[in-house]
Structure 1
């Protein structure tokens, strides 16, 4: 498991990568488990574990994670 930080609304947030598509995000008010899923066209979507909808928050967190893991 690797740990890195993302910038989220001006704060550095710790993220632990548990597997290729599973991330543990330590937000100030809660810990969120994010899952990256890919559609048939190759687009990534970010879901909170055990949900089936991407939200603006999970999409924004996922985009910040992608910046770090793709560099």
Structure 2
């Protein structure tokens, strides 16, 4: 498990990588468990755990995580 920070709306937010595709994001108002899955075209889709759809918030957090991991 690794921990790093992402920039989310101008704030550094801690993220703990729980597994290869599961991330705990400690947002100021509430923690959120994100799960990365791939669609049929191979694109990453980010879901809140126990849900089945990507939201603008989860997509934005997922993009920030991907950017951090790629850098």
Counterpart in the other structure of 2:3:
3
- Normalising by structure 2, we get a TM-score of 0.98
* Divergent runs of 4+, >6 A: none
Please give the alpha-carbon distance, in whole angstroms, between the structure 1 residues aligned to 2:66 and 2:41. Answer: 17
Counterpart in the other structure of 2:23:
23
Provide Cα deviations, 1:7-52, integer angstroms capped at 9, x if missing partner.
0000000000011100000000100000000012110000000000
Counterpart in the other structure of 1:46:
46
Counterpart in the other structure of 1:32:
32
User: What residue ranges of structure 2 are gaps of 5+ in the alignment?
Assistant: none
Size of the aligned set, in residue pairs, is: 71
- Normalising by structure 1, we get a TM-score of 0.98
Please give the alpha-carbon distance, in whole angstroms, between the structure 1 residues aligned to 2:47 and 2:66. Answer: 14
